[in-house]
Amino acid sequence: MINVTIDGVRVEVPKGATILEAAQEAGIRIPTLCYLKKLSPIGSCRMCVVEVEGCTKPVTACDTPAGDGMVVTTDSEELREMRRDVLRLLLVRHPLDCPVCDKGGECDLQDLVYEFGVTAESYRTEPFERDVPRYVSPFIRQWPDRCVLCGRCVRACKEVKGVGCIQIVDNGFYSYIGPVPGVECISCGECLSVCPVGALTDSVHPTKARIWQAERVPTTCGYCGVGCQLELNVLNGEVIRVTTTDFDRAPNFGSLCVKGRFGWEFVNHPDRLEKPLVRKDGELKEATWDEALGLVARKLQEIKDEHGADAVGGLSSARCTNEENYLFQKFMRAVIGTNNVDHCARL
Amino acid sequence: MTNSIACVDKAQAFLVIGSNTTENHPIIGDRVKRAVTQRGAGLVVIDPRRIELAEYANVFLQVKPGHNIPVILGMMHVILKEGLHAPDYIAERCEGFEEFAASLEAHSPEKVQQITGVDADLIRKAARVYAGAKPASILYAMGVTQHTQGTDAVKCLANLAMLTGNVGVEGGGVNPLRGQNNVQGACDMGGLPNVVTGYQKVGDDEAMAKFDEAWGRKVPREPGLTVTEMGHAALEGKIRALYVMGENPMITDPDLHHIEKALETLNFLVVQDIFLTETAAKADVVLPACSFAEKDGTFTNTERKVQRVRAALAPRGECKPDWQIVQELSTKMGYPMSYAHPREIFEEIASLTPSYAGIDYDRIEREGIPWPCPDRDHPGTPVLHVERFARGKGLFQVVEYKGPAEEADDEYPLILTTGREHPHYHSGSMTRRCGRINDCFPEGFLEMHPADAERLGLHTGDGVRVASRRGEITTKVKVVDRPAPGTVFLSFHYSESPVNVLTNPATCPVAKIPEYKVTAVRVEKA
């Protein structure tokens, strides 16, 4: 363990911890943009610059290891001006188009620009091309002019998913996130979930909503058995997208696969059954609940009375909740009176 | 899983067998890849196809479908011969070792090579990678269980983990990756013919007396029929009515022609689902249910963690959550149920199920709890069998290899194996109705090795007829070197090419799981 002093607060951190981690330990916030806990730090955006006693120049906190006895200052007028400059330079390319951006309201850049009082696009250049060839995934729309080249998406794709299908292409002002030739995207949307700005947006549902308009309901994914935690975003009684904003939640820590992130449209599908159906003259016709359940109750009772309880079988479901499975087998065992209950665990 | 998903981060080596982890459990697959590339963990992959994880493996054993058991026996032979086993652990915690050890004598890698064609030196290398690092984790899925000897294969894996002292150890374990969101929970809740909740046996009078009292009805003590047995019983006229909640056996059961006949023989079929599935279309009554987005409750994931599901939408149209439908039907049949919310049902579950006793909705508001969780102060159990096995001593069981039910012959010269593709899910009733996913991945392909394709004069995109001893389907071929020569692969997501028309209904005598993974087929240009 080593001792570090951050803004006058002394903390003990393990050897190898960065200045940023030491500051977090001390409860002191350092502004960041390209940093994300689950990714390797690269010190590229320079928002996290801090002064270290004895160093002539400020250093980036996210990727500089804390040293024993180090004395760090995270906030000064000079640092604030440096951070403002970082933001002004990002705004050369990034338009202040927050009113038309999906990310408006939970954008790291928007928050920082607001916090540091940068109120105008101070430097001018020709606008960066907005329309580009399709992104690597058809589930995601790319807005290259909004990209701040933090490289979170590139690192997440490689480090978290082990795919590495995107990279920073070209140089300087003209850099953009483009495909890595020969590496196929799996459309997991990890890049989308870590983008701090609106450079990558979900393109599945035509309906958009301001962040504060849609309700986010945390729940468990309905596909495989991993049980990923995700948020259903709901507007006017319809799911419009899936997000993961809590990167500390097990078991997936904000990651999903193509099904979990983009496979929710079935919920709104017009094929959804909306009324009970009863077969009449060989055809399934709409019926009331009372009619349908009455018929089921009568038929099951008849068959039970005539052929015994074991003439009835039931399949419960690996797709339904625990509570529903419990109730189903209770119904089969206590009401029908048979142990003929199974589900597709074997299939 | 005996262990938690987080344990993947602690394993020093993995044996991944019969699991295409990166496609079917992507979030766990990612962690395995990270363990290998970022920490240098060892990886052995055993699979009939060169799946993505094979590219990361130290050793990849490309087995023919149905050859898992001899390969694992060969690995254990090597481990014992080379002294890579854990004698202290075995002596202290296990029993039946001597007879088991003697049974391995016959399974030298050379012998295994004769049976399976897998190179003896690769088997040795695989044994050293898995047994040479501690802790080591076994991850497996339906590629192990969907065989007539599926249970024996799982016993083999348990033997292997005990032999190397990897059961009850953080980062180790024998870990089945479960394919459906709540297949663990459906089993835990007693959606099985021989047990009620928490695997309390229907034949156990003492346990059942508790249910008799709680439910006010006497629970029958004789085990019921499994899903595959119900099909046969229907054809024999023994099952007259079937109530299906959220299942689509018309796509997912083996030998679909047989199932179709069975469903048509029934006097009465009720299907409760969110779509008019292939099965629902055959029903006498269809009851519209809510999707996961419209209901509250819990799912139990593959690591036994009970997690919350929350209603984000109001029920669509006149749909009702499944629990409410069952409750209303029960009431109509003279057994009133009046739960106001799934929370109340969960409380009843906890009161009757020792492994769920300590769990309630408040405790799992933010993060789930893995069972067993016997009381309110218990934190849950991420790793099973830690100080002692659930049964006391870990029992080594001798396994004899018999081979799959069906072999290739002149008429059906290729072996078909089945599984899933990453963008789609199970019978496809959900993902095939996700516009964007289905636009991007609209059709399935028969994967075939270039050598077989050349012999049959086939090219990627060609239409083919695939026939087995039970039926035939048409699809398109994709020429790719993922399967070995002689093996072909199809997924079961596409109802227009229902692969289970072909599959063999022969089941494992213990688990009653059909042998989906081994079907002899003939492929011709359509």
Beta-sheet pairing, A9-13 with A2-6? antiparallel
Cβ-contact B399, B73 below 8 angstroms: yes
Q: What digits encode the pLDDT tens for the residues B93-143?
A: 999 999 999 999 999 999 999 999 999 999 999 999 999 999 999 999 999
b/e B334-354 (16+ beta carbons within 10 angstroms → b): ebebebeebeebbbbbbebbb
Cβ-contact B186, B101 below 8 angstroms: no
Who contacts B220 (Cβ-Cβ below 8 Å, separation ≥6)? A309, A333, A337, A338, A339, B202
Q: What is the DSSP letter of A146?
A: G
Query: Which residues on B lie below 8 Å from A141 (Cβ)?
Result: none
Query: Which residues on B lie below 8 Å from A322 (Cβ)?
Result: 182, 185-186, 188-189, 297-300, 306, 346, 349
Report CB contact under 8 Å: A273, B289.
yes
Can you tell me the distance from the alpha carbon of B37 to that of B279, in angstroms, rounded to the nearest whole number? 45
Nearest-neighbour CA in chain A from B85: distance (Å)? 31
Class of domain B414-525: mainly beta
How does residue B165 score in pLDDT terms, banded at 50, 70 and 90?
Answer: very high
What residues does B268 pair with on adjacent strands? B241
Encoding tokens for residue A307? 């052929």
Asked whether the predicted pLDDT for residue B210 surpasses 90, the reply is yes
Q: Which of B324, B371, B396, B455 is nearest to B165 (CA)?
A: B396
Query: Which residues on B lie below 8 Å from A277 (Cβ)?
Result: 276, 283, 285-286, 288
Can you tell me the distance from the alpha carbon of B180 to that of B190, in angstroms, rounded to the nearest whole number? 16
Pick from A139, A273, A311: which is nearest to B240 by CB?
A: A311
What residues does B227 pair with on adjacent strands? none
Q: What digits encode the pLDDT tens for the residues B471-514?
A: 999 999 999 999 999 999 999 998 889 899 999 989 999 888 99
Quick one: pLDDT at residue B258?
Answer: 86
Cα B339 to Cα A80, A122, A279, B242, B326, distances in angstroms: 59, 63, 30, 25, 11
Mean pLDDT, residues B49-55 taken together: 97
Low-confidence ranges of chain A (pLDDT < 70): 132-133
How does residue B342 score in pLDDT terms, banded at 50, 70 and 90?
Answer: very high
Report CB contact under 8 Å: B30, A284.
no
DSSP character string of B433-489: G-HHHHHHS---EEEE-HHHHHHHT--TT-EEEEE-SS-EEEEEEEE-SSBPTTEEE
The SS3 call for residue B47 is strand
Encoding tokens for residue A255? 């990651």
Quick one: pLDDT at residue B152?
Answer: 96
Can you tell me the distance from the alpha carbon of B94 to that of B355, in angstroms, rounded to the nearest whole number? 24
Nearest-neighbour CA in chain A from B280: distance (Å)? 10
Mean pLDDT, residues B374-389 taken together: 95
**CATH (residue range B183-370):** 3.40.50.740
Report CB contact under 8 Å: B430, A258.
no
Report CB contact under 8 Å: B345, A327.
yes
Nearest-neighbour CA in chain B from A258: distance (Å)? 6
Encoding tokens for residue B80? 């014992």
Nearest-neighbour CA in chain B from A191: distance (Å)? 15
Mutate one of B142, B287, B339 to test the A interface: name it (highest A CB count within 10 A). B287
Quick one: pLDDT at residue A13?
Answer: 97
Report CB contact under 8 Å: A229, B307.
yes
Mutate one of A327, A329, A331, A336 to test the B interface: name it (highest B CB count within 10 A). A327
Encoding tokens for residue B404? 């799959």
Nearest-neighbour CA in chain B from A5: distance (Å)? 32
Q: Nearest-CA residue of chain B relative to A346? A: B513
Pick from B267, B296, B434: which is nearest to A266 by CB?
A: B434
Q: Which of A186, A242, A194 is nearest to A219 (CA)?
A: A242
Quick one: pLDDT at residue B252?
Answer: 78
Report CB contact under 8 Å: A273, B317.
yes
Q: Nearest-CA residue of chain B relative to A40? A: B38
Cβ-contact B523, B414 below 8 angstroms: yes
- Look-up: residue for tokens 């906030």? A75
Quick one: pLDDT at residue A290?
Answer: 97
Q: Nearest-CA residue of chain A relative to B215? A: A334
Query: Which residues on A lie below 8 Å from B226 (Cβ)?
Result: 342, 346
Asked whether the predicted pLDDT for residue B365 surpasses 90, the reply is yes
Report CB contact under 8 Å: A325, B240.
no
Can you tell me the distance from the alpha carbon of A315 to that of A212, in angstroms, rounded to the nearest whole number? 42
Query: Which residues on A lie below 8 Å from B6 (Cβ)?
Result: 250-251
Q: How many CA atoms lie within 13 A of B496 on its CB side?
A: 7
The angle that helices B256-265 and B227-235 make with each other, rounded to 10 degrees, is 60
Cβ-contact B356, B373 below 8 angstroms: yes
Can you tell me the distance from the alpha carbon of B111 to that of B116, in angstroms, rounded to the nearest whole number? 9
Angle B520-B525-B526 from CA coordinates, rounded to 5°: 105
Report CB contact under 8 Å: B227, A342.
yes
Q: Nearest-CA residue of chain B relative to A159? A: B34
Query: Which residues on A lie below 8 Å from B332 (Cβ)?
Result: 293-294, 296-297
Domain ranges of chain B: 5-177, 183-370, 414-525
**CATH topology for A2-75?**
Ubiquitin-like (UB roll) (3.10.20)
Cβ-contact B249, B258 below 8 angstroms: no
Quick one: pLDDT at residue B248?
Answer: 87
Beta-sheet pairing, A341-342 with A312-315? parallel
b/e A230-260 (16+ beta carbons within 10 angstroms → b): bbbbbbeebbbbbbbeeeebbbbbbbbbbbb
Query: Which residues on B lie below 8 Å from A293 (Cβ)?
Result: 287, 325, 328-329, 332
The angle that helices B150-163 and B68-81 make with each other, rounded to 10 degrees, is 20
Query: Which residues on A lie below 8 Å from B305 (Cβ)?
Result: 227, 251
Nearest-neighbour CA in chain B from A119: distance (Å)? 38
Report CB contact under 8 Å: A326, B267.
no
Query: Which residues on A lie below 8 Å from B193 (Cβ)?
Result: 339-342
Nearest-neighbour CA in chain B from A74: distance (Å)? 32
Query: Which residues on B lie below 8 Å from A228 (Cβ)?
Result: 27
Mean pLDDT, residues B332-349 taken together: 98
Could you tell me the sign of the dihedral formed by the alpha carbons of B17, B27, B431, B276, in that order?
positive
Query: Which residues on B lie below 8 Å from A257 (Cβ)?
Result: 26-27, 422
Mean pLDDT, residues B256-266 taken together: 90
The SS3 call for residue A105 is coil
Q: Which of A9, A50, A11 is nearest to A1 (CA)?
A: A11
Mean pLDDT of chain B: 95
Query: Which residues on A lie below 8 Å from B310 (Cβ)?
Result: 217-219
Quick one: pLDDT at residue A131?
Answer: 75
The Cβ of residue B314 has, within 10 Å, a number of other Cβ atoms equal to: 10
Cβ-contact B126, B59 below 8 angstroms: yes
Report CB contact under 8 Å: A296, B179.
no
Asked whether the predicted pLDDT for residue B315 surpasses 90, the reply is yes
Q: Nearest-CA residue of chain A relative to B338? A: A327
Q: Nearest-CA residue of chain A relative to B238? A: A311
- Look-up: residue for tokens 């809510």? B290
Longest dimension (CA), chain B: 67
The Cβ of residue A181 has, within 10 Å, a number of other Cβ atoms equal to: 7
Can you tell me the distance from the alpha carbon of B71 to that of B127, in angstroms, rounded to the nearest whole number? 10
Can you tell me the distance from the alpha carbon of A122 to that of A167, in angstroms, rounded to the nearest whole number? 29
Superfamily per CATH, domain A209-272: ADC-like domains (2.20.25.90)
Mean pLDDT, residues B138-158 taken together: 96
Q: What is the DSSP letter of B150?
A: H
The Cβ of residue B194 has, within 10 Å, a number of other Cβ atoms equal to: 16
Query: Which residues on A lie below 8 Å from B28 (Cβ)?
Result: 226
Cβ-contact B323, B246 below 8 angstroms: no
**Would you call the peptide bond into A14 cis, given omega within 30 degrees of 0 as the criterion?**
no
Query: Which residues on B lie below 8 Å from A319 (Cβ)?
Result: 180-182, 246-247, 292
Provide the ipTM: 0.94
Class of domain B5-177: alpha beta
Pick from B179, B322, B327: which is nearest to A320 by CB?
A: B322
Q: Nearest-CA residue of chain A relative to B333? A: A297
Q: Nearest-CA residue of chain A relative to B221? A: A339
Can you tell me the distance from the alpha carbon of A19 to that of A65, in angstroms, rounded to the nearest whole number? 6
Nearest-neighbour CA in chain B from A156: distance (Å)? 11
Burial level of B387, CB count in 10 A (0-12/13-18/19+)?
exposed
Quick one: pLDDT at residue B101?
Answer: 97
Quick one: pLDDT at residue A229?
Answer: 98
Who contacts A271 (Cβ-Cβ below 8 Å, separation ≥6)? B275, B276, B433
Query: Which residues on A lie below 8 Å from B211 (Cβ)?
Result: 333-334
Quick one: pLDDT at residue A127?
Answer: 79
Q: What share of chain B is helix, strand, coil (3-state, %, to 5)?
A: 35, 20, 45
Task: Compute chain A's Rg from CA coordinates.
Answer: 28
- Chain region(s) in chain A for CATH 3.10.20.740: 2-75
Which amino acid is residue B243, in one-letter code? Y
What residues does B476 pair with on adjacent strands? B445, B463
Mean pLDDT, residues B280-304 taken together: 97
The Cβ of residue B440 has, within 10 Å, a number of other Cβ atoms equal to: 15
Which amino acid is residue B121, in one-letter code? D
Q: What digits encode the pLDDT tens for the residues B406-438?
A: 999 999 999 999 999 999 998 888 999 999 899
Which amino acid is residue A36, in one-letter code? L
Report CB contact under 8 Å: A239, B313.
yes
- Chain region(s) in chain A for CATH 2.20.25.90: 209-272
Q: What digits encode the pLDDT tens for the residues B393-403?
A: 999 999 999 99
